A and B are shown apart, each in its own frame.
Chain A
């Protein structure tokens, strides 16, 4: 699998725990990366948070479960959840099929947009994935 190319879009920033963040006007959208969905394999359940919840950076806000594993979703930034992609409850497979599109999970109103700079760039994230996939 070491030479497998995972999709890592240039218009996102990334966390070490394999969430992506994409700026969308004054809010950001958050999901899990292609690498994360591939590692989990078929996702069968998503536990989603409530809109309006205030998150600290790194706080667990949900859970994704696949046939073989379970993984916490961690907030990439501090902020308030402004939108939750509720249809994922019915369609957890969207996280596998289109992790950066239909598989988006929440929208956040970040406390501080500049905190985005603390996240990984696509190049940094690519190296982070490679380091683990090459093990």
Chain B
């Protein structure tokens, strides 16, 4: 969290956003575009064509040195050593209690090097946590926060691969899903990662902050009318339909990955911090679980709204009107034991609105 009143940080693309008529809002200490015109239009563009996002507020922290993998594994719930160079993995950084410090992607960038891509709101807390764990493991490596020098663009949607392909060197084989490559787009050196946060295929592209504007312009030119600019508003509706957690909503230090339904990103037996607590949570069974809800009407269940069920109360963590699924959808913590099909209520402004527990994601793209 940023200090109240502290000046907002600007990404290298700030003036491009202004020129494009963006509505800029404070987000995690940054002044970020929430939308350029219509959140729904931007959402639909990403589902049907392609959207370009500036997500340079995200942080990048590199571990480098002979002990880098050891420290990474002491921090990261997913398997580090099994991730070959060129591979991306999603996982959590956990406290001893199992509570989540952050949810991150790990890039295996070298034999003795990894890069964590972390949430903007957590860069400082992550850095501090990494140093704390480092002091314990005494791994021979350095921790370098490269957030300021690094910009991150995301191009997402069914046309994203084709648009980027026009800019790649001849003969370059595009990375498979959850893989990345160091390459060039036009003349610009980038780290091209086949990942995203929208439920669509596409790339996240790391680039030197000094080259961010050039890359933005290059992608827009290659994309033409098929490529819409998309802001954080659409990013949120897209990730909610895909049921991806957002730190500060579904995840925080009081919730663990098992409750959040992220077991598949927890590789037991590797010795990460919090492993014992998560093992105990699995064995005992969590008392609350993150569930997907579909509401009957079009009213939106906002974070903090109460969930009422026969088994007890819960709380909504994210909710929106899902433009593609065309339903009011929400994520929230509810008593364990509520399975798909269970009927319950969300309390919205004093009214109890019926909803149903559904399997997530709400939206799943058709794979071509």
Contact = CB atoms under 8 A, between A and B. Distances in A.
Contact of A92 (B38, B39, B298, B328): B298
Main secondary structure of the interface of B (DSSP, over half): mixed
B239 to A, nearest CB: 13
Given A67-B321, A68-B39, A45 B297 contact: yes
A67 B321 CA distance: 6
Interface in B302-324: 302, 320-321, 323
> Which of A44, A65, A96 has most chain B Cβ within 10 Å?
A44
Contact of B299 (A42, A65, A67, A68): A65
Contacts of A47: 299
B321 A44 contact: yes
A87 to B, nearest CB: 14
Given A41-B35, A41-B38, A42-B40, A67 B297 contact: no
B338 to A, nearest CB: 25
Contacts of A70: 300, 302
B302 A42 contact: no
Contacts of B300: 44-45, 65, 67, 70
A59 to B, nearest CB: 15
A41 B36 CA distance: 10
A4 B18 CA distance: 12
A92 B40 CA distance: 13
Q: How large is the interface on A (under 10, 10 to 19, 20 to 34, 35 or more residues)?
A: 10 to 19
A1 B349 contact: no
Interface string B27-44: 000000011001110000
A41 B323 CA distance: 13
Interface in B22-76: 23-24, 34-35, 38-40
17 contacts: A4-B21, A41-B23, A41-B38, A41-B39, A41-B233, A42-B39, A44-B298, A65-B299, A66-B39, A67-B237, A67-B321, A67-B323, A68-B34, A68-B39, A68-B233, A92-B298, A96-B38
Interface of B: 21, 23-24, 34-35, 38-40, 233, 236-237, 297-300, 302, 320-321, 323, 328, 349
Interface of A: 1, 4, 41-42, 44-45, 47, 63, 65-68, 70, 92, 96
